[in-house]
């Protein structure tokens, strides 16, 4: 009679690996920081999951290629309705935003891997 113990150990290892992968890919905070600039827009959009998406225009210029100059743009998602509404009411002002960076985006968290979790200042 064969033992079922190796099967259960194998299944447990597979479940742990899959769980670890999902956690690392979607929930592990890869980085966090502060971005400052003029708030271009914050909108609520989505087909199934309505999320808040925004864009911050940072001061200065950057060049991705030689001869091409463009403004720095920071596209982000907001998972807190109160923060998003406060940003909507102050569009066009200069913001300092604290964000968390994830490896990948989740549909209910927003389209961006950068998620704003608080407003530091509004000028």
Domains of the chain: 30-122 (2.40.50.140)
Closest by CA position to 96, among listed 61, 122, 60: 122
pLDDT recorded at residue 1: 55
pTM of the model: 0.79
Distance CA(8)–CA(1), nearest Å, equals: 16
- Token look-up 């935003």 returns 97
Distance CA(119)–CA(116), nearest Å, equals: 8
pLDDT recorded at residue 61: 64
pLDDT at 67 over 70: no
pLDDT mean over 9-20: 95
Q: What mean pLDDT is reported for the chain?
A: 89
Closest by CA position to 122, among listed 39, 8, 28, 21: 39
pLDDT recorded at residue 65: 63
Q: What are the DSSP calls for 5-36, one per residue? A: HHHHHHHHHHHHHHHHHHIIIIISEEEEEEEE
């Amino acid at each position: 009679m064969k033992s079922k113990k190796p099967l259960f150990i194998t299944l447990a290892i597979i479940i742990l690996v899959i769980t670890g992968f999902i956690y690392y890919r979607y929930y592990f905070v890869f980085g966090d920081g502060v971005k400052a600039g003029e708030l271009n827009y914050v909108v609520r959009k989505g087909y199934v999951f309505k999320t808040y998406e925004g864009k911050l225009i940072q001061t200065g210029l950057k060049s991705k290629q030689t001869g091409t100059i463009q403004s720095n743009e920071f596209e982000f998602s907001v998972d807190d309705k109160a923060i998003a509404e406060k940003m909507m009411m102050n569009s066009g002002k200069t913001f300092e935003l604290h964000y968390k960076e994830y490896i990948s985006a989740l549909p209910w968290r927003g389209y961006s891997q950068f998620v704003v979790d608080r407003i530091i200042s509004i000028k």
